[in-house]
A and B are shown apart, each in its own frame.
Chain A
Amino acid sequence: MSAILPPADRLWWKQPIDKIEWTWIMLAFTWAMIMFVMMIYWHINGKQNLSTETYKSTREMWTAKAEKFIAENTVRTETDQQIPVVKVAPGGDAYLTASLWKWWPILELEKGQTYKVHLYSMDYNHGFSLQPTNINIQVVPGYEHVVKMTPTQAGTFAIVCNEFCGIGHHSMLGRIYVK
């Protein structure tokens, strides 16, 4: 009977399934398996997989590393805030700090080179949103995330914060130069 009444047939499990319904079930099943395999395939053959390399860290431990990185590699400063522009050696490590409400420092990278970008938040959750490329990574306080990035285009890129982090959230804009 109808869906709002108990099934009239005592042994409803034994009712045959219509051919057209079986066809759809098998199509849905096949598509489900394709999508599942696709993620695994991309891990093996794709060039865009988010690194899972992560370390627990503290503000002190992080600040020591990040300040050393900036002190050794700064090439100039920009804007009234004197934001250091740091040239990262190809294949080298870069330390990018998210805090209320800035991305620090500005990174200078080269096209086609691979860098280990370390992301860390000093306070709340932040969102690393690289524009206009549109790559989005969550930055969680207390966890140092090491992401290997290979820029494929030259230009000036913006890092928008796309995780709500308080009243100044909208002004949290960082920069990456790719030469």
Chain B
Amino acid sequence: MADMQNEEIPFMQRVLDNHFLLLFLGIAVPTVLYIVWGIMEIIAIPIAK
């Protein structure tokens, strides 16, 4: 038991406990993959002949 109290907290647990890192990821991922990429697709549409 003593061991467990002092053992370092695993990396993923620290990530999941870091609420503002999660906030950053939760906004960055969809902003890049969905919004920014989507808008780039629209900008790249050629003009009709």
Contacts and interface: CB of A to CB of B under 8 A. Distances in A.
A–B interface present (Cβ within 8 A): yes
A55 B46 contact: yes
Given A10-B4, A11-B4, A11-B7, A61 B13 contact: no
B27 interface: no
15 contacts: A10-B9, A11-B9, A11-B10, A13-B9, A13-B16, A14-B10, A54-B45, A55-B45, A55-B47, A56-B46, A56-B48, A57-B48, A61-B48, A143-B45, A144-B48
Given A14-B10, A57-B48, 11 more contacts: A10-B4, A10-B9, A11-B4, A11-B9, A12-B13, A13-B9, A13-B12, A13-B16, A54-B45, A56-B45, A57-B47
Interface residues of B, number: 13
Nearest to A57: B48
Highest count of chain A CB atoms <10 Å: which of B7, B10, B45? B45
Nearest to B10: A13
A16 to B, nearest CB: 13
Contacts of B19: none
Interface residues of A, number: 13
B5 interface: yes
A62 interface: yes
A57 B5 CA distance: 67
Nearest to B12: A13
B49 to A, nearest CB: 7
Contacts of B48: 55-57, 61-62, 144
